[in-house]
Amino acid sequence: MFRTKTCGELRLSDVGSEVTLAGWVQRIRKMGGMIFVDLRDRYGITQIVFVNEHDALLTEAASKLGREYVIQVKGKVEERASKNGNIPTGDIEIIADELTVLNPSVVPPFTIEDESDGGDELRMKYRYLDLRRNPVRRNLELRHRMTMEVRRYLDSLGFLEIETPMLVGSTPEGARDFVVPSRMNPGQFYALPQSPQTLKQLLMVSGMDRYFQIVKCFRDEDLRADRQPEFTQIDCEMSFVDQDDVINTFEGMAKHLFKELRGVELTEPFQRMPWADAMKYYGSDKPDLRFDMKFVELMDVLKGKGFSVFDNAAYIGGICAKGAAHYTRKQLDALTDFVKRPQIGAKGMVYARVEADGNVKSSVDKFYSQEDLQELKKAMNAEPGDLILILSGDDAMKTRKQLCELRLEMGNQLGLRDKNKFACLWVVDFPMFEWSEEEQRLMAMHHPFTHPKDEDIPMLDTDPAAVRADAYDMVVNGVEVGGGSIRIHDSELQEKMFEILGFTPEKAREQFGFLMNAFKYGAPPHGGLAYGLDRWVSLFAGLDSIRDCIAFPKNNSGRDVMLDAPAALDAKQLDELQLALDLKEEK
């Protein structure tokens, strides 16, 4: 046996016992005739002591150890004279009797510590070393526990875990596909699934009733902190359900995960907010409700007073930052610079402080009387000590999005976005369609299989842009952790949907004929949801990025710098696939 105990389990009750440990050398300290080695494995750290008086040759051998050497140590457990309360094994140490070097190590390119000196790219290149660090290991352990709890919860409700294929047909609607050439079918391509959407619907037609899968999905899209080219979904579908049934089931699962994994008991029903309200009051379909600062429209209050910026605006909106009237001119100028960044795009910002005596001082005082500013204070429900921040623009939707960024920045600056506080809600009643400037046509906001709200179906012929969908997203702390919809189960309605989206009958049959045919054989009403596993884990771990809860993630360019992928194929592989490359030169 390489070990009789792990490096994280020995306690005072083990004092006097003979043990064998194996692991990696975390650090070495030499003190006179003694050498102290911190031995680490996945389970923790144990201090090993080599005493010169006890065994001079053994102590000399220990002096030659280096960081990350893999060693085996045999010895006796003793109580430590100088205890370490920061680790569970801090009351004991091992007095070494034998040492075996199982494998030496070169000096690692960064420190294997909780706070490493390695940058992101370096840690991604040597990810197998990064995974030895406690924070990353804990994230993967959390991920494991979450998948186990998901399976237990869904199994208790009668869901079946069913695998769907990884090689499917391409679906041009939505994000770009990753495509895979077929050697046996030259000139034809598989696609890696963006979602098992149509396949899980077919499982409902087949009578499986309740399906789930913890499944890899792939989207060839630009990357952000919460996106990877391959990601993992908790994918679910149910038959004979309406929107409330699906929401209640998966709200229950969310509460179960909060309780079991974070020790947080959420007893109240999650708020449900129509998409139109989310956009009107927060400028986002995933509002962070850990703090207030709801938008107030100020057109009636501020327009027509001679300030041309407001007089010519199509939208004027403000937020009230409670207790922030102490902001200095320098801080306010920095906020103005923030909203004028190219990625946000506002032209400027107006502010107003509510003084201790109730008077309002504004950056546009010369255009507004104190009576006007008191009306502003009243509209914003502001009190002495509060700070009012105002943006305007010629496009209401764009200006609300800019105001959303300002609201989130103020939430950060005022410490209102506590990662240990959770605000959960459902955003419902999404628009069925959105206009694509690139395509110059209506596109499905979610996907073409989403069912419209029953009361809006007549508008499919008269005003499709006004139709709302039976769609819902779960949002936690401003992060969309999952979403879904009730699906179309009627072939005629599905054909109508394809028609509105610009599909010819031939194109619809070519891409989705299998699904439309299946609907003719008695498809039940059905709906579902997919949670982003990576986002849930990063949320519970308090991370800003999903990369550190994925064992082997890609970087911001979609590359695996450890495996050096993607990479070119050699000529033989291209010949077998009957492919020829004609790469365009970058200008």
Q: Which pLDDT tens digit goes with each residue over 273-295?
A: 999 999 999 999 999 999 999 99
- Vertex 563: Cα angle to 558 and 565 (nearest 5): 40
pLDDT class of 360 with cuts at 50, 70, 90? very high
Position 516 pLDDT exceeds 80: yes
- What average pLDDT does the segment 370-379 reach? 96
Final residue of a structural domain among 392, 413, 434: 413
Q: What is the mean pLDDT of residues 444-473?
A: 94
Q: Are residues 49 and 76 in the same domain?
A: yes
If asked whether residues 267 and 142 sit together in one domain, one would say yes
Are residue 403 and residue 435 in the same domain, yes or no? no
Among 485, 490, 488, 492, residue whose Cα is nearest residue 522: 490
> Is the sign of the CA dihedral 269, 273, 278, 284 positive or negative?
positive
Q: Considering the domain boundaries, does residue 564 fall inside one?
A: no
Give pLDDT, residue 584: 82
**What b/e sequence results for 275-287 when a residue is b if at least 16 CB atoms lie within 10 Å of its CB, and e otherwise?**
beebbebbbbbbb
Asked whether residue 119 is domain-assigned, the answer is no
Cβ-contact 36, 3 below 8 angstroms: no
Mean pLDDT rounded to a whole number for the chain: 94
79: domain range? 12-103
pLDDT of residue 172: 63
- What does the block give as tokens for 133? 């660090």
Give the model's confidence band at 127: pLDDT under 50 very low, under 70 low, under 90 confident, else very high. Answer: very high
Sign of dihedral through CA atoms 478, 479, 480, 481? negative
pLDDT band at 84, cuts 50/70/90?
A: very high
- Per-residue pLDDT averaged across 312-325, rounded? 97
- Residue range 399-427: average pLDDT? 97
At residue 171, does pLDDT exceed 80?
no
Are both 245 and 331 inside the same structural domain?
no
Sign of dihedral through CA atoms 377, 379, 382, 388? negative
Q: How much is the pLDDT for 511?
A: 87
Residue 361 lies in a domain: yes
Residue 285 maps to a domain? no
Say whether both 401 and 298 belong to one domain: yes
The pLDDT-based confidence of 173 (bands split at 50, 70, 90) is low
Same domain for 359 and 478? no
pLDDT for the residue numbered 507:
87
Whether the per-residue pLDDT at 546 is higher than 80: the answer is: yes
In this prediction the pTM is: 0.91
pLDDT in the model for residue 447:
87
Residue 400 Cα distances to 302, 340, 344, 540, 557, angstroms: 17, 14, 11, 29, 30
Core vs surface per residue 375-409: b (16+ CB within 10 A) or e: bbbebbebeeebbbbbbbbeebeebbbbbbbbbbb
Q: Which of 138, 197, 108 is CA-nearest to residue 8? A: 138
Please, are residues 52 and 99 in contact by the beta-carbon 8 Å criterion? no
Averaged pLDDT for residues 141-166: 98
Q: What is the rounded end-to-end Cα distance, in angstroms, of the chain?
A: 62
144 and 267 both lie in a single domain: yes
Q: Is the pLDDT of residue 344 over 70?
A: yes
pLDDT category of residue 298 using cuts at 50, 70 and 90: very high
Overall domain count for the chain: 3
pLDDT band at 174 (very low <50, low <70, confident <90, very high): low
Name the pairing type of β-strands 160-161 and 210-218.
parallel
